[in-house]
C-alpha cells in the first residue's frame, strides 16, 4: 500500500474548528475536510475543474492548524499545494498574483520592484498596483521600504561583541531584507551580545513559500536550490530565521520537495536539522543576555502568536514564556493570542472580507488589554495587524527581538 | 437541483447568501465520518426558529426531504441526505442565549459547539457533563439528536440526562416547546426522550435548555497497564463492584496504544496488552481515599504499571491519547469502520474475547477501545474498501459482533446511533412490534416522511 493511500482522511471533522476560515464562515466548504474531499473528487474525475473549485481550495491561509490537529497525520500542505498548482494550470491566476510570483521568483526583480518604489513610483507593476488595493489595508499604512536592503547594509560575516561561543547562519527572508530591517539589526545585535559569530550568506533569496502556495512550484525550485547552495557549506550551531514561515520552508518543505524531485536530500536535511526560530534560540541561551539595569519603568506588551510559529515549531509557548521572563516588560495575554490574524501570505488581499473580520477581532482584544506594544514574530502578521490599526489606537506592532535588543546592556 | 419554484420560495425565506446549490458546494454536505455518501440538492443555513418553520412548511408542501446537520461528525451516516432534498445546516445558528449558573442551566441554539458550551461555563466554574470525543467540533443539536455520550458519562450520564427542555419544529412547520428551566418537571409526557436520539427523524431542534453542574473540586487521573487483556476488564468490574463510580474508565488495547503512539509520540507503553485511563472527581479527601482503593484493586488484578497524572499537562496528555484514537485508526488503512456495541459491564471480558475471536477468524486487524465502565466498546477495524474480498470479511465480522453482543444481552449502539450503518440489524435487539411502534410514532408526526428519510424508521 502506498503512503498516499495510507494518508486517508477519516472525515472525523476534528480539523473543522481548528481552521480559522471555517470558524469564521461556519460553512463546511471552507473547512480542511471539505477541501480534501473536493480534491479527491477532482482527482477521481467526479468533479470538474471550475473557478469556484479554485476559489474554495484557495480560500485558505496555509496556516497549518488543520495538520496540527489532525490525528490521521494528513499532510494538508502538500495536498493543497499540489491542487493549487493544478487549479492555476486549469483556471489561470489573477494578474495581481501573477505579478507577485514574477517578482518573488528572482531576487533581482524584487530589488527592481523595490527600487521603483523608492524612486517615488509604484511598488509593483501596473496591473498589480491598480488592482492590488492590498486588501483592507490603506496604502499609507504599509511599511515603507528599507532605504538600503538589509543584507546590503550589513556585513556578510559579523563578529561577536564578546568572547565567541559559537557560529550561526542567518536566513533573513524577504521581509527583513526589504521592509523590516529593524528586525534584522536587532537580531544581529542580540546574537553579537550573546557571543555568536553571524554569517549572512550573500546569495540567499526568497524562501519560496509564497510561490509554492500559489502553485508556482517550478519557479520555487530555482530559489530553493540557490538557498541550499548558499547555506550548505557552513559548519554552524544553528540556522536562524526571524520569520517562522521561512522556517517552515527550510525545515519541512525543502527536504520534502528535494526528495520528491528525486535529488539527494543530504544537504537539505542537514540544514533542516539546524533550523530554529530566533526566539527559541534566545530562550535557550537566555542566561547569555544582560539587561540594562537602569530601565525602571516597565513597558506593557501583548503578543500575537503567528500560525506558523504555533503549528510548525510549536514555539509560540516558548515565545510567550520568553516575553514573560523579560524583566523590563509587563505581559498581558489576550484571550485569542494564538488565533489567526487573517493575514496568511496574500490571503488578506485575496479574501479581504474574511480577513477583515479576523483582524478586527484581534485588534479589539488587543486594545482591551491596554498594552503599548503588540509583539509578533511574523512579518505578514505584523503588516496585517499594523496596517489595520488606526493612528489613535496607540499600539505599536514590533518583532519581539526589537524590544529585547533595545533593553540590552551596552558592552 | 430543486425545482425553480421551490428554490425561489426557499430563497424568499432565507436570502441568497444562505442558500447553496452549486455542485462544488453540494459535494461538501454529502458525508459525515461514516462511509456512505449522498449529495443534497440544496443546503440552507437557518439562523432563527421562524426561518426553520417556514422552510419546513415549504418542504412539506412540496414533500421534499429535509435532513438536519450539525458538524457532520456522526459516525453512522445520520446526517447524510440519502434521499437528497435539503440539508438544513445549523452551524450558523450558534448563539448562546442564556447562561444561568444560579439556577444551573444554559440555553443554546442547536449549532453551538459542545466545547463552546464548556468555554462559556468555565469562568463560573461550571460544566456540561456530556463530553463526546468529538466535542471540539460537534454541535449540541447533533449531540441531542444522537443522544451523545462520552468518557465521563459513566458517572454523569448521557445527553438525555441533561436536556431540561427544548424547542422543536415539526415537519408541518409547527413549533412546539416542552420541558422548562426546572430540574424537576413531570408535567405531561417526557417529550425530550422522544427527540433525544431521534437522529433528526421526528423534528428539528431549534433551542435547548441544558442542565449544568458545578465543576468538582478535584480531578485525579490514572493510567494503568496490564499484560493480560482479561485483567483489564476484571479490574473494571472489581472497582465498580466495590461501590466506586469513577468519572471514566477508558480501555485501550495493544493495537490501539501502538497506533496512537506511532502518530502522537506520547510515551504510551507499547508492550501492554491493554490499558485503562481511570478518572475520579469530587472533594479532595474523598478522591485521595478512592484513588488509593483503586490502585489497590488494579494491583490485585495484575496491573503491571500504574501512573498517576501529577499535573494538568500530564492529565491532558493521557486524554489526548484517548481522544485521538479514532482518527489514528483511520491512518492504518484507506478506510476504517468503528462500531459501538454495548454489553452489561460484567460481560465486558467475554465480549472482548468474542471480538478478537471473530476478527481473528477473518484475518482482520482490530483495535478495541471501550468506555469499559459502562460496557460500551468500540471495535475499530481498519481495512480497504476497494478490496472487495476484505470488505466482505469486515461486513461479516461486524454482523457476527452484533449478533454476539445481542446474545450477551447487549445492544447495537451505546452512543453513535443507528443511522445508515446499523438499521439492518435492529431486529437483533428489537421485536417486530417495537419497530412497528416506532414507525407509528414517526407516521403520526411526519406523515409524508420528509424528515431525514431513509434512515432507521
Ligand atoms: C472523532 C470522533 C469521536 C466521536 N466521539 C463520540 C463520543 O465519544 N460519543 C458519542 O456519543 N459520539 C461520538 N462521535 C459521534 C458524533 O460526534 C456524535 O454523534 C455527535 O453528536 C454528532 O454531532 P454533529 O454536530 O456532528 O451532528 P451531525 O453529525 O451533523 O448530525 C448527527 C445527527 O443529528 C441530526 N441533527 C443535527 N442537528 C440537528 C437539529 N438541530 N435538529 C434535529 N436533528 C439534528 C442530523 O440530522 C443527524 O441525524 C464521535 C465522532 C467522531 C468523528
Ligand atoms: S482532522 Fe484529519 S482526518 Fe479528520 S477530517 Fe480533518 S483532515 Fe480528515
Ligand atoms: S491551512 Fe489553515 S486556513 Fe487552510 S485549511 Fe488548514 S487550518 Fe484552514
Please determine, for residue A131, whether its predicted confidence score (pLDDT) is greater than 70: no
The pLDDT tens digits for A247-297 are 988 998 899 888 888 888 889 999 999 999 999 999 999 999 999 888 778
pLDDT-wise least confident of A214-218, A319-323, B30-34, B406-410: A214-218
Q: Return the DSSP state at B137.
A: T
**Domain A289-406 in CATH 3.40.50:** yes
- Asked if B56 and B172 touch (Cβ cutoff 8 Å), the reply is yes
Quick one: average pLDDT of B171-200?
Answer: 93
B142 chain-A contacts, CB cut-off 8 A: none
Alpha carbon of B443 to those of A52, B172, B201, B446: distances in Å? Answer: 41, 12, 10, 5
pLDDT at res. B146: 97
Q: What is the position in ligand 3's atom list of the atom closest to the CA of A67?
A: 6
The pLDDT tens digits for A104-122 are 656 555 555 555 454 443 4
B327 chain-A contacts, CB cut-off 8 A: 10, 12, 14, 70-72
Q: Per CATH, the architecture of A3-91 is what? A: Orthogonal Bundle (1.10)
Residue A10 parent element (H or E) = none
pLDDT at res. A4: 47
Quick one: average pLDDT of B367-382?
Answer: 90
pLDDT band at A130 (very low <50, low <70, confident <90, very high): very low
Complex ipTM value: 0.92
CB contact under 8 A, A13 and B137: yes
CA B420, CA B319: separation in Å to the nearest integer? 30
Selected residue with higher pLDDT from B96 and A312:
B96
Q: Which among B55, B42, B142, B21 is positioned nearest to B86, based on CA atoms?
A: B42
The pLDDT tens digits for A227-248 are 999 999 889 999 999 998 899 8
pLDDT band at B333 (very low <50, low <70, confident <90, very high): confident
> Residues 6 or more apart from A257 whose CB is under 8 A from it?
A212, A217, A220, A221, A224
Instruction: Report CA(A72)–ligand 2 centroid distance (Å).
Output: 7
- Catalogue all structural domains in chain B, each as residue range(s) with its CATH number: 4-89 (3.30.43.10), 96-214 (3.30.465.10), 216-331 (3.30.70.2190), 333-443 (3.30.70.2740)
Please determine, for residue A2, whether its predicted confidence score (pLDDT) is greater than 60: no
What are the φ and ψ backbone dihedral angles of A49, each rounded to 5 degrees?
-65, 140
pLDDT at res. B456: 85
Selected residue with higher pLDDT from B139 and A345:
B139
Cell (9 digits) for A394: 496607540
Percent of chain B with pLDDT over 70: 100
**Domain A150-205+220-284 in CATH 1.10.3470:** no
CA A116, CA B128: separation in Å to the nearest integer? 60
Mutate to test the pocket of ligand 3, among A22, A57, A59, A65 (most ligand atoms within 8 A of CB): A65
The pLDDT tens digits for B197-245 are 999 999 999 999 999 999 999 999 999 999 988 888 889 989 998 999 9
Q: Is A396 on the interface with B (CB under 8 A)?
A: no
Mean pLDDT rounded to a whole number for chain B: 93
Q: What is the position in ligand 1's atom list of the atom closest to the CA of B143?
A: 21
Please determine, for residue B95, whether its predicted confidence score (pLDDT) is greater than 60: yes
Please determine, for residue A132, whether its predicted confidence score (pLDDT) is greater than 60: no
Q: Which among A329, A397, A330 is positioned nearest to A363, based on CA atoms?
A: A397
User: Which of A177-181, A367-371, B345-349 is most confident?
Assistant: A367-371
- Using a 10 angstrom Cβ sphere, with 0-12 exposed, 13-18 middle and 19 or more buried, the burial of residue B79 is buried
pLDDT-wise least confident of A9-18, A81-90, B435-444: A81-90
Instruction: Report CA(A57)–ligand 3 centroid distance (Å).
Output: 10
pLDDT at res. A99: 63
Selected residue with higher pLDDT from B265 and A84:
A84
pLDDT-wise least confident of A4-13, A201-210, A278-287: A4-13
User: How many degrees, rounded to 5, is the angle at CA B122 between CA B120 and CA B128?
Assistant: 75
Selected residue with higher pLDDT from A94 and A52:
A52
Read off the pTM.
0.87
The domain locations on chain A are: 3-91, 95-141, 150-205+220-284, 289-406
Same fold, A3-91 and A150-205+220-284: no
Quick one: average pLDDT of B69-89?
Answer: 97
Selected residue with higher pLDDT from B457 and A112:
B457
Residues on B contacting A at a C-beta cutoff of 8 Å: 20, 22-25, 27-29, 31-33, 45, 71-73, 89, 91-92, 94, 111, 113, 115, 134, 136-138, 263-264, 323-336, 384
- Asked if B397 and B381 touch (Cβ cutoff 8 Å), the reply is yes
A11 chain-B contacts, CB cut-off 8 A: 31-33, 72
pLDDT band at A16 (very low <50, low <70, confident <90, very high): very high
Distance from CA of B136 to the nearest CA of A (A): 7
pLDDT at res. A134: 56
Please determine, for residue B154, whether its predicted confidence score (pLDDT) is greater than 70: yes
Please determine, for residue A90, whether its predicted confidence score (pLDDT) is greater than 90: no
When scoring B30, B331, B390 by the number of chain A Cβ atoms within 10 A, the one with the most, hence best to mutate, is: B331
Q: Is B382 in the pocket of ligand 1 (CB under 6 A)?
A: no
Mean pLDDT rounded to a whole number for chain A: 85
Q: Which among B122, B83, B81 is positioned nearest to B101, based on CA atoms?
A: B122
When scoring A1, A37, A59, A72 by the number of chain B Cβ atoms within 10 A, the one with the most, hence best to mutate, is: A72
Instruction: Report CA(B333)–ligand 3 centroid distance (Å).
Output: 24
**A47, A53, A73 member nearest B331 (Cβ):** A73
Q: Is A66 on the interface with B (CB under 8 A)?
A: no
pLDDT band at A3 (very low <50, low <70, confident <90, very high): very low
Chain A residue nearest residue B264, CA to CA: A71
Amino acid at each position: 500500500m502506498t503512503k498516499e493511500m495510507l494518508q486517508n482522511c477519516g472525515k472525523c471533522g476534528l480539523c473543522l474548528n481548528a481552521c480559522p476560515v471555517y470558524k469564521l464562515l461556519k460553512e463546511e466548504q471552507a473547512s480542511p475536510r471539505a477541501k480534501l474531499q473536493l480534491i479527491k473528487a477532482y482527482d477521481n474525475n467526479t468533479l470538474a475543474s471550475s473557478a469556484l473549485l479554485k476559489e474554495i481550495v484557495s480560500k485558505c491561509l496555509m496556516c497549518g492548524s488543520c495538520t496540527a490537529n489532525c490525528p490521521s497525520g494528513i499532510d494538508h500542505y502538500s495536498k493543497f499545494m499540489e491542487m493549487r498548482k493544478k487549479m492555476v494550470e486549469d483556471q489561470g491566476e489573477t494578474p495581481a498574483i501573477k505579478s507577485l510570483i514574477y517578482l518573488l521568483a528572482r531576487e533581482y526583480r524584487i530589488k527592481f520592484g523595490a527600487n521603483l518604489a523608492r524612486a517615488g513610483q509604484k511598488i509593483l507593476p501596473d496591473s498589480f498596483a491598480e488592482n492590488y488595493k492590498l486588501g483592507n489595508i490603506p496604502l499609507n499604512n504599509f511599511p515603507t521600504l528599507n532605504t538600503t536592503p538589509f543584507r546590503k547594509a550589513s556585513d556578510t560575516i559579523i563578529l561577536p561583541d564578546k568572547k565567541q561561543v559559537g557560529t550561526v547562519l542567518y536566513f533573513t527572508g524577504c521581509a527583513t531584507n526589504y521592509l523590516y530591517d529593524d528586525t534584522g539589526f536587532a537580531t544581529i545585535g542580540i546574537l553579537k551580545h550573546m557571543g555568536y559569530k553571524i554569517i549572512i550568506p550573500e546569495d540567499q533569496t526568497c524562501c519560496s513559500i509564497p510561490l509554492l502556495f500559489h502553485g508556482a512550484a517550478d519557479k520555487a525550485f530555482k530559489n530553493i536550490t540557490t538557498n541550499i547552495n548558499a547555506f550548505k557549506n557552513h559548519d554552524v550551531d544553528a540556522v536562524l530565521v526571524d520569520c517562522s514561515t521561512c522556517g517552515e520552508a527550510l525545515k519541512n518543505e525543502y527536504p520534502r520537495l528535494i526528495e520528491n524531485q528525486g535529488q539527494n536530500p543530504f544537504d537539505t536535511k542537514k540544514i533542516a536539522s539546524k533550523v530554529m526560530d530566533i526566539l527559541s534560540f534566545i530562550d535557550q541561551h537566555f542566561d547569555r543576555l544582560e539587561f540594562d539595569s537602569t530601565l525602571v519603568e516597565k513597558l506593557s506588551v501583548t503578543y500575537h502568536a503567528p500560525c506558523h510559529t504555533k503549528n510548525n515549531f510549536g514555539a509560540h509557548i516558548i515565545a510567550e514564556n520568553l516575553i514573560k521572563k523579560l524583566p523590563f516588560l509587563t505581559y498581558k495575554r489576550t484571550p485569542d493570542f494564538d488565533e489567526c490574524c487573517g493575514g496568511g501570505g496574500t490571503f488578506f488581499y485575496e479574501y479581504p472580507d474574511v480577513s477583515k473580520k479576523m483582524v478586527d477581532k484581534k485588534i479589539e482584544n488587543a486594545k482591551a488589554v491596554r498594552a503599548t506594544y503588540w509583539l509578533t514574530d511574523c512579518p505578514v502578521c505584523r503588516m496585517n495587524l499594523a496596517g489595520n490599526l488606526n493612528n489613535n489606537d496607540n499600539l505599536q506592532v514590533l518583532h519581539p527581538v526589537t524590544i529585547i535588543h533595545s533593553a540590552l546592556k551596552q558592552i | 437541483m430543486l425545482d425553480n419554484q421551490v428554490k425561489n420560495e426557499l430563497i424568499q425565506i432565507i436570502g441568497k447568501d444562505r442558500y447553496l446549490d452549486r455542485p462544488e458546494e453540494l459535494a461538501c454536505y454529502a458525508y459525515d465520518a461514516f462511509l456512505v455518501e449522498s449529495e443534497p440538492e440544496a443546503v440552507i443555513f437557518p439562523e432563527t426558529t421562524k426561518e426553520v418553520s417556514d422552510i419546513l412548511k415549504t418542504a412539506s408542501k412540496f414533500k421534499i426531504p429535509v435532513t438536519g446537520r450539525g458538524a457532520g461528525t456522526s459516525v453512522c451516516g445520520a446526517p447524510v441526505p440519502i434521499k437528497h432534498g435539503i440539508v438544513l445546516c445549523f452551524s450558523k445558528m450558534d448563539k448562546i442565549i442564556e447562561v444561568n449558573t444560579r439556577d444551573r442551566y444554559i440555553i443554546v441554539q442547536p449549532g453551538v459547539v459542545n466545547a463552546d458550551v464548556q468555554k462559556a461555563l468555565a469562568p463560573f466554574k461550571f460544566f456540561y457533563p456530556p463530553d463526546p470525543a468529538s466535542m471540539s467540533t460537534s454541535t449540541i443539536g447533533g449531540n441531542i439528536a444522537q443522544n451523545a455520550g462520552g468518557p465521563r458519562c459513566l458517572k454523569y450520564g448521557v445527553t438525555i440526562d441533561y436536556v431540561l427542555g427544548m424547542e422543536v419544529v415539526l415537519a408541518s412547520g409547527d413549533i412546539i416547546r416542552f420541558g422548562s428551566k426546572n430540574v424537576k418537571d413531570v408535567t405531561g409526557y417526557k417529550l425530550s426522550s422522544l427527540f433525544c436520539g431521534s437522529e433528526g427523524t421526528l423534528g428539528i431542534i431549534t433551542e435547548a435548555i441544558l442542565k449544568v453542574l458545578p465543576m468538582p473540586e478535584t480531578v485525579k487521573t490514572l493510567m494503568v497497564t496490564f499484560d493480560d487483556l482479561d485483567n483489564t476488564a476484571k479490574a473494571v468490574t472489581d472497582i465498580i463492584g466495590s461501590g466506586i463510580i469513577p468519572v471514566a474508565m477508558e480501555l485501550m488495547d495493544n493495537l490501539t496504544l501502538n497506533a496512537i503512539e506511532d502518530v502522537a509520540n506520547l510515551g504510551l507503553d507499547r508492550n501492554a496488552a491493554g490499558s485503562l485511563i481511570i478518572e475520579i472527581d469530587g472533594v479532595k479527601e474523598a478522591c485521595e481515599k478512592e484513588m488509593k482503593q483503586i490502585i489497590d484493586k488494579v494491583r490485585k488484578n495484575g496491573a503491571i504499571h500504574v501512573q498517576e497524572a501529577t499535573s494538568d499537562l500530564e492529565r491532558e496528555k493521557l486524554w489526548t491519547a484517548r481522544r485521538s484514537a479514532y482518527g489514528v485508526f483511520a491512518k492504518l488503512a484507506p478506510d476504517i469502520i468503528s462500531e459501538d456495541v454495548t454489553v452489561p459491564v460484567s460481560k465486558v471480558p467475554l465480549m472482548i474475547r468474542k471480538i478478537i475471536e471473530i476478527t481473528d477468524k477473518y484475518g482482520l486487524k482490530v483495535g478495541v477501545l471501550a468506555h469499559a465502565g459502562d460496557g460500551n466498546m468500540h471495535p475499530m477495524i481498519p481495512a480497504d474498501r476497494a478490496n472487495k474480498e476484505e470488505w466482505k470479511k469486515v461486513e461479516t465480522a461486524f454482523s457476527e459482533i452484533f449478533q454476539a453482543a445481542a446474545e450477551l444481552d447487549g445492544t447495537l449502539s451505546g452512543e453513535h446511533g443507528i443511522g445508515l450503518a446499523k438499521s439492518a440489524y435492529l431486529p437483533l435487539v428489537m421485536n417486530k412490534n417495537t419497530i412497528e411502534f416506532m414507525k407509528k410514532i414517526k407516521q403520526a408526526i411526519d406523515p409524508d416522511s420528509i424528515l431525514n428519510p431513509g434512515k432507521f424508521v
